[in-house]
Each structure stands twice: as C-alpha cells, then as structure tokens.
C-alpha cells in the first residue's frame, strides 16, 4: 500500500498540472478569439494602427481648479492634432487619463474632433483616410492631485478608436491656468459708502452682488453668476453649451421653440426694475453711464462684464455696450474671462432666445465679433442660421 504522504504529493502535482493546462487552454482560446477578430471578413481587415497623434504648443494643454459642490476638482483640458493613417474612416469614441504611481488611477473623459481641420465645430465625427483634424479632450479629476499653480503630468492619455485599438500619448504637460501668487494682482475695489451719487450706488451694489454669485457659479462650472436659461422647465447652470448629433440634417445651432426658454436672473431683474422706476431722462442717462464706466480692465468689475452688457442689452443700449466691450475689455485675458464671458453670454442667447434679436442687433453682434482674436464660440454660425430661419418664416 502506498504511503498517504506520497499519494497527497501526487494529488498536489496533478492539481497544479491541471491548473496549468487549464490556463494554457484559456490562453489559446483568447489567442484564437483575437485572431478571429482580426481575420478578414468579406474583404475587410480590421486595422490595428489607425491614428497618428501630434502634440501642439504647450499652451494647448492646461488644467483649472474648479468646484464640485463645495469640494475642489481639477478640470484637465487638452488639444492635439490627429491624422488617420489607415485606409478606412476612423472614429474616436473614448479617451482615458492614467495617472498616479505606474498609472494605476484612471478616469474617463470627453473627446471630440473638428468637422474639418480649420472649422470650429466639434463632435464625434469620422476622420477620413489621410485626413488631419483638431482633437479636443477634457477630464474631471477628483480629488485634485496637484496644487493650484502646479504643473500636472499624468502617466499617459489613451485614445480608443471604434475597433478597440489604443493609441497612447505619454507624459503630456498640463500647466495650471492659475496666476502665480507673486504676480497676481487684485482688481481695485469700489466701496459703496464712498459713492455720492445714489444712482451709481444702486448700480454698484447690484454689480457687487453679482460678483459674489460669479465666484460661486463661474467659468469653471460653465456658469455666468445669476444669469441662466430655463429651458423646457429645466434650469441650466448658465446659458448652456453646444452639442451635436452626428450625421443629422436638423438645424442644431439654434432652438426652434424659443417660447420654451427664458432668461433668468434676480440681479438682472433688480436693475431693470430700478431703471424703469426713473422718471427723468437725466436719471436714465446716469444709470447707463454708471454701467458703461464700470466696464473695462482695472475697474473692479471685469469678472461681471457679461452682466453689465446683459443689462444694457435689456434696456436698449446694445450698440454702446458692444462698442465699449470691444474697446476696453482685454483680449486673451484668462483670469476673470471678461470678454470671453460676454461672448459666451451671446452664444447662449442666440441659441435659446434668438427671437429677442432684431436684424439690426444681429448686425451689431456680427460687427462686434469681426476681427476679435478671442474665441467667438459659434456666434457667426448662429447669426447665419437665425437669418436663414427668419427668411424662411411666414
């Protein structure tokens, strides 16, 4: 009779051998499945290399410290060029950020490509063979892994095409858009008790209230302080963004049912009521002058330039507001986003409340955006769409 210890040892050997054989069989099946995926079907061979990714200058990759409720969160944004080097159309449905030790942490993001290389319209468009497009992507990283002014260098950014192929870009450098503390300058502050004119004091008090609202709901959250759109019963954070359904013939630039959208702001309503309460032209002129005088750099109200322009538009002084904004708001300024937020305001208004704009107002807006080096969103395209719709309406 065999020794029980020997029998146990043989059983252990057989179990280990069986596990190894099972693992080998599983591996062979995986190899077979992968080979089947790559195999030619009806003359089509699934490509394994489809994209060539090209980095742009360093200012095209940046990150911003935003808020998730009361908690800080990193918004990581990048732009690149992508070229289709395969023989079939390529789509990029997914992007992934890998960071931390050995890239163990990951977060999925949003990726879009331009419809054409020099167009400013983005979506999930197909890239034809040998074509180059602009590529835009962004992620939200929570909790933050970098201090507000620190450079963020993740392990890699991974782009996936519709075939499941992964194309990685290693160690992209994302620079913080926060100003360095030693060079950051605070805007001058206007004290309400020191304002002698009661009309100016009324205007300044509401502007200061709006500044606080913008600090809570500003650019990083896609908001414009208290100013927002309510569309089909749903309140937006700000005035909404632009999104697309690819390959759809529908007009997606502007909303057809403008009656379902309303512009809302308690601060805006307050100043409109004040303006309408004045009984003399002198009072109304002083009100308009108080707003125009506070628009510009180093006035203390740069972050709420959008609000000043919105008030002036509502009371019939759009032309003066746009002229002052174009002349006195600095272009390319990325701290308070004064001019950028004015453009974002009209981009949203043209989408949801285009019935509030006359042809003369559209002319003024088109003249305002002409020649700007600042990103104009889709304002020119929306103006063209609104004109076409007006021509086609009874």
Closest CA to 80 of 21, 138, 140: 138
DSSP state of 150: S
* Contacts within 8 Å (CB) and 24+ apart, 310-316: 310/227, 310/265, 310/268, 310/345, 311/268, 311/271, 311/272, 311/275, 312/288, 314/268, 314/272, 315/272, 315/275, 315/288
Q: What is the pLDDT of residues 372-392, one digit of tens each?
A: 988 898 999 999 999 999 998
Has residue 367 got a pLDDT over 80? yes
Report all structural domains of the chain as residue ranges with CATH numbers, in order of start.
51-176 (2.60.40.1890), 192-244+253-392 (no CATH)
Residue 194 neighbours by CB distance under 10 Å? 8
Residue 179 pLDDT: 67
Q: What is the pLDDT of residues 32-72, one digit of tens each?
A: 776 665 555 545 677 888 999 988 776 789 898 887 777 88
Q: Say whether pLDDT at 218 is over 60.
A: yes
- Please report how the helices 318-328 and 359-369 are oriented relative to each other, as an axis angle in degrees rounded to 10: 0
Q: Encode pLDDT of 83-97 as tens digits.
A: 999 989 999 999 999
Residue that wins the pLDDT comparison between 114 and 272: 272
- Are residues 281 and 272 in contact, defined by beta-carbon separation less than 8 angstroms? no
pLDDT given for residue 34 in this prediction: 67
User: Rounded to an integer, what distance in angstroms lies between the CA atom of residue 306 and that of residue 222?
Assistant: 13
| Stronger pLDDT, 150 or 358, i.e. the higher one | 358
Cβ atoms 321, 312 nearer than 8 A = yes
pTM over 0.75: no
**Which strand (E) or helix (H) includes residue 108?**
strand 105-108
């Amino acid at each position: 009779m065999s020794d029980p210890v020997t029998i146990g040892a043989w059983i252990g050997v057989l179990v280990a051998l069986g596990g190894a054989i099972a693992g080998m069989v599983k591996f062979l099946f995986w190899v077979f499945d992968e080979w089947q995926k790559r195999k030619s079907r009806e003359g089509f061979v699934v490509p394994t290399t489809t994209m060539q990714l090209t980095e742009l200058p360093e200012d095209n990759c940046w990150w911003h410290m935003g808020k998730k409720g009361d908690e800080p969160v990193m918004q990581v944004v990048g732009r690149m060029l992508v070229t289709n080097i395969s023989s079939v159309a390529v789509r990029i449905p997914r992007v992934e950020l890998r960071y931390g030790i050995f890239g163990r942490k990951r977060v999925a993001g949003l990726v879009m490509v331009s419809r054409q290389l020099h167009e400013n319209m983005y979506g999930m468009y197909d890239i034809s063979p040998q074509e180059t497009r602009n590529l835009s992507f962004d992620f939200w990283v929570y909790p933050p892994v970098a201090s507000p002014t620190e450079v963020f260098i993740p392990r890699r950014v991974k782009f996936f095409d519709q075939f499941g192929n992964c194309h990685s870009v290693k160690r992209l450098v994302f620079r913080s858009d926060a100003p360095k503390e030693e060079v950051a300058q605070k805007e001058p502050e206007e004290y309400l008790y020191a304002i002698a004119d009661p009309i100016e004091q009324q205007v300044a008090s509401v502007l200061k209230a709006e500044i606080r609202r913008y600090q809570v709901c500003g650019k990083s959250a896609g908001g414009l302080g208290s100013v927002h759109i309510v569309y089909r019963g749903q309140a937006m954070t700000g005035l909404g963004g632009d999104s697309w359904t690819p390959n759809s013939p529908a007009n997606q630039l502007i909303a057809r049912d403008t009656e379902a959208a309303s512009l809302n702001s308690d601060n805006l309503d307050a100043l409109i009521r004040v303006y309408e309460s004045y009984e003399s032209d002198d009072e109304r002129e002083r009100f308009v002058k108080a707003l125009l005088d506070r628009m510009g750099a180093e006035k203390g109200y740069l972050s709420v330039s959008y609000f000043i322009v919105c008030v002036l538009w509502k009371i019939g002084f759009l032309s003066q507001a746009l002229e002052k904004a174009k002349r006195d708001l600095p272009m390319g300024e990325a701290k308070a986003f004064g001019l950028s937020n004015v453009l974002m305001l009209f981009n949203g208004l043209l989408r949801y409340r285009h019935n509030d704009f006359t042809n003369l107002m559209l002319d003024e807006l088109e003249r305002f955006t002409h020649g700007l080096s600042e990103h104009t969103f889709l304002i020119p395209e929306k103006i063209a769409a609104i004109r076409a719709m007006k021509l086609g309406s009874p």
